[in-house]
Amino acid sequence: MSSSNVKIYSSTFSNVPLVNRGVFSYFLGASRPGYVGEHPANWPAFTDAASGATITRGHLRALSLQLGHGLTHHATLRASRNDTALIFAPNILQFPLAMFGSWAAGLRVTLANSAYNARELAHQYTNSGASLVYTTEDHLQTVRDMFTAVGLGAEGDKRIIIIDGLRWAGGANVPPSVASAGLVRLEDLLSMGAMESEEIFEGQGNETTLLCYSSGTTGKPKGVETTHHNLTSMAEILQHSWDAPTSREVMLAILPCYHIYGCVMQLLWTLRAGIKVVLQARFEPEAWCRNIQTYAVSLSLVVPPVLVHLARHPAVEKYDMKTLKVMVSGAAPLGPDLTRQALSIRVAARLASFGTHVAIIQGYGLTETSPVAMMVPTKSAESALGSIGVLLPNLQSRLVADDGLDAKEGEPGEIWIRGPTVMKGYLKNASATAGCINSEGWFQTGDIAVRTNEGFYYIVDRKKELIKYKGFQVPPAELEALLLNNPDVADAAVVGVYDDAQATELPRAYIVAANPSAKKAQLARDVIAWTKARVASHKQLRGGVAVIDVIPKSAAGKILRKDLRERAKVEAEANMVKARM
């Protein structure tokens, strides 16, 4: 079908001017005296929640240029432009420094889930072509096990940078452990001098600068090539569509910075917006509420399971959180389901009863869209309950029915997105790229939605089979391939089942026993334990394991997941699945 015959929706916002330069120059450029980027250099940029250690915008720029110099001049690292650095760490103050220091030197950055085991980390390390790894003392053994798995062994130690310690930010020093003795440390690199200026990518915005990994429905996670232009465009688009105050506001960052949503919204857009970010290592209700009070936080990004805690946790009553004005739920849709809508209403009402009046809104996007494509304006938080929002500036969308034609007005269709934030493609995987981005530049999301006359979109189904556990992607095919390596399993299928209590999907496995006489309950428990030892936390079979006689499949051998999801609903109602985490 020619483009002249299709229904293309444009944003209700006017297009905004975009730039074509490198991410470091855009976010931390020093083109105006006394300024870094768009705001004064002495404004605070990032604070460590636990210690209070803070770095300003100017401090971040200077440290990044020091780190960039160290990376390129250290005798064993010798990094150079377009090399790739992997960051394997939780939400700590060192994270943005590692990222921007690498970008200052012209490196690409790939962000790995800090819960990965050595096998999972090995895939990302080798696929991304990384030449060095930033990590912490707590994650060091996993990195060393990964280097053993890829055949580098002790040679891998020359590629490790230990980033513990905040002496460079006025915080505490952390002496090397016995295990990390002799490894390169962040402080070593910061003491070697400084670059006069960052590597320049002016007019070269289409070069890849970030590699986050997206779990598809088949095969291993794919590296998403996000460009300088993708990220600078995302920041400009967000800044011009956000309808709440930003300058000198404070955000509490609890979402993982290794996830593109956490990275872009918490570490990048905030620099463009002039927002101070308080980094909390992980979500814990008491600490979250305490940090809201301590740092006068006005904004926080959350996922639905966080709202579950806030709806009932006693810490909400203990702290003064009146400064909190906006919470944005993303990564795992709240959805149109009445139970999930009621959750945001309940949280807002509970906070209001203690004097905290907050707008809880939702955003939508994917790793492949850098990531945000739609967002609910704060002024529409109540009237657009359950919506994923309106299309952001400079973007276009289509809703495409199963027959490949445009969905009729008010009817569901797959969301297609086109615009400057759509990824360059999947790293080293041209066939996968061609399978989701057509010749006219439309990215096919796999999510089914309806659109109102006012331009609000509502997710109603998912074409792709990906499971979303607390915002993390869980590819069923990966778990199925793993389960088939268990000698006690003859066949397997994995589906997501929604748990209202936790406000998230849980991975549930259906297996066929290799030995028909095996005791089903014991086999289910054994398989849960066996899987737990081999995957990251978010991939564990929290939805349980059911032993069945045969996996339902089509004549072509495709797993009939819809049948299994229906079966799961019946089993949940009858409480038939006994083996659970």
* Residue where a domain stops, chosen among 447, 462, 477: 462
Q: Which residues of 146-171 are buried (b: 16+ CB within 10 A; e: fewer)?
A: bbebeeeeeebbebbbbbbbbebbeb
Instruction: Note whether 246 and 391 are same-domain residues.
Output: yes
C-alpha torsion sign, points 564, 570, 572, 578: negative
In this prediction, residue 49 has a pLDDT band, given cuts at 50, 70 and 90, of very high
CATH of the domain at 138: 3.40.50.980
pLDDT at 460: 78
Task: For 13-78, give the DSSP string.
Answer: SPP-----S-HHHHHH---STTEETTEETTSEEEEETTT--EEEHHHHHHHHHHHHHHHHH-TTT-
CATH code, 453: 3.40.50.12780
The answer to whether residues 454 and 474 belong to one domain is no
Tokens for 455, please give them.
């331009």
* DSSP H or E stretch at residue 343: helix 338-353
Query: Cα separation of 98 and 84, whole Å?
Result: 12
Alpha carbons 57 and 37: distance in angstroms, whole number: 8
User: What torsion do the CA atoms of 98, 99, 103, 106 make, to the nearest 10 degrees?
Assistant: 70
Percent share of the chain, pLDDT over 70? 95
- Say yes or no to pLDDT of 379 above 90: yes
Residues 410 and 264 in one domain: yes
Q: Is residue 258 part of a domain?
A: yes
Q: Is 97 helix (H, G, I), strand (E, B) or coil?
A: helix
Alpha carbons 409 and 453: distance in angstroms, whole number: 8
Assess whether 413 and 527 both reside in one domain.
no
**168 Cβ contact partners less than 8 Å away, ≥ 6 residues apart:** 63, 186, 187, 190
pLDDT for residue 3: 56
Same domain membership, residue 422 and residue 337: yes
419 & 481 share domain: no
Indicate whether 376 and 454 sit together in one domain.
yes
Range of the domain at 541: 467-574
Same domain, 106 and 252: no
Same domain, 294 and 195: no
Residue 409 domain-assigned?
yes
**Backbone phi and psi for residue 560, each to the nearest 5 degrees, phi listed first:** -90, 80
- Domain boundary among the residues 418, 438, 462 is at 462
Query: pTM here?
Result: 0.86
Domain contains 20 = no
The residues with which 328 forms a beta bridge, in sequence order, are: 301, 361
Q: Is residue 479 part of a domain?
A: yes
> Which of the listed residues 432, 462, 492 is the one where a domain comes to its end?
462
Q: What is the mean pLDDT of residues 559-563?
A: 85
Contact 286, 243 (CB under 8 A): no
CB atoms within 10 A of CB 549: 7
Residue 213 located in a structural domain: no
Packing angle between helix 520-532 and helix 476-483, nearest 10 degrees? 110
Section 237-242 average pLDDT: 97
Give the per-residue pLDDT at 336.
44
As for how many domains the chain has, the answer is 3
Are 431 and 450 a contacting pair, CB within 8 Å? no
Tell me the pLDDT tens digit for each residue of 495-534: 999 888 888 999 999 999 989 899 999 999 999 999 999 9
> In the chain, pLDDT over 90 holds for what percent of residues?
80
Same domain, 421 and 560: no
Residues 388 and 477 in one domain: no
423 CB-contact burial (10 Å; exposed 0-12 / middle 13-18 / buried 19+): buried
Q: Would residue 10 count as lying in a domain? A: no
Residue at 199: amino acid letter: E
Instruction: Say if residues 398 and 97 touch (Cβ distance below 8 Å).
Output: no
Mind giving me the DSSP string for 478-544?
HHHHHHTTSTTEEEEEEEEEEETTTTEEEEEEEEEESSTTS-HHHHHHHHHHHHHTTS-GGGS-TT-
Q: How far apart are CA 38 and CA 48, in angstroms?
A: 23
- 509 and 451 in one domain? no
Query: Which amino acid, 193?
Result: G
**Residue 90 confidence class, pLDDT cut points 50, 70, 90:** very high
The CATH number given to whatever domain includes residue 528 is 3.30.300.30
The 10s digit of each residue's pLDDT in 262-289 is: 999 999 999 999 999 999 999 999 999 9
